[in-house]
Amino acid sequence: MPTVFITGASRGLGLEFVRQYRADGWDVIATCRDPSAAPDLTATGAEVHALDVADDAALSALGRALAGRTFDVLINNAGIYPLKGPQGSFGDIPVDPWMECLRTNVVAPWKVAETFVANLEKAERPVLATVSSKMGSIADASSPGSVVYRSSKAGVNMVIKGLSIELGPRGIICLSMHPGWVQTDMGGPHALITPQESITGMRRLIANASPADNGCFYAYDGQEVPW
């Protein structure tokens, strides 16, 4: 059975990725900050490891622990959305939460890729998929607010493009994915779609990805998103 490695799997989209891949019989390596506080994740029967993606030492240690394993798919899913709405508007945005957001949403996906590239290279058709957001689309931006989150997702889109240029020639297909507006803790109860719909769509993108998709940005429904 193929193996998928997922970050930020304690709840929300990460947890639904784990559930769906497990239901399909995949070997799932799921990571989260605190496994002891993630009973829904441990109940899936996935192989669970502690990982704060912003902790470089922890990332290196997990890289050593998983050396030699094959990853068919790696999903950079962990993300944060500090300073939503009016809190994130022009005039008085605090620097520390912005830096934390960039550390988690932009830098960590690159460091995760560096850490596990050898695991991906062992697979026949490896896919490195990163959960970005349409809110990071510069072409789509037209309203004020949420610049902290928006700038982080615009930043991770460039990270993904950079990874596609580095890793495409090594046979790894790098995708940027918009999950839709989804009913999770982050998306809130009024979001438009369920985690089940979103993950079903993103898993389809991953399953159908070919080298021609390397470095592309797609929504969960298969539509290409403008950068």
Site of interaction with ligand NAP (CB under 6 A) = 7-8, 10-14, 32-34, 52-54, 77-81, 104, 131, 133, 179, 181-182, 184-187, 191
Spatial contact of 78 and 10, defined as CB atoms under 8 Å apart: no
Pick between residue 20 and residue 169 the one whose CB is nearest to ligand NAP. Answer: 20
Distance between CA 210 and CA 215 in Å, rounded? 11
CB of 91 to ligand NAP, least distance (A): 24
Question: Does residue 178 sit in helix, strand or coil?
Answer: strand
Taken as a whole, the chain contains a residue count of 227
As a whole number of angstroms, the distance between CA 87 and CA 208 comes to 39
Please check whether residue 1 is in contact with residue 26, taking contact to mean a CB–CB distance below 8 angstroms.
yes
Q: How far is the CB of 85 from ligand NAP (least distance, A)?
A: 14
Give helix 108-121 / helix 147-167 axis angle, nearest 10°. Answer: 30
Nearest by Cα to 186 from 24, 77, 107: 77
The nearest distance, CB 164 to ligand NAP, in angstroms, is 18
Q: Choose between 134 and 164: whose C-beta lies nearer to ligand NAP.
A: 134
Indicate the residue type of 77. Answer: N
Please say which residue, 97 or 171, places its beta carbon nearer to ligand NAP: 97
If the CB atoms of residues 133 and 164 are measured against ligand NAP, the closer one turns out to be 133
Closer CB to ligand NAP, residue 17 or residue 26?
Answer: 17
Q: What is the DSSP letter of 225?
A: P
User: Least distance to ligand NAP from the beta carbon of 111, Å?
Assistant: 11
Question: What tokens appear for 49 in the block?
Answer: 């490891």
Q: How far is the CB of 171 from ligand NAP (least distance, A)?
A: 25
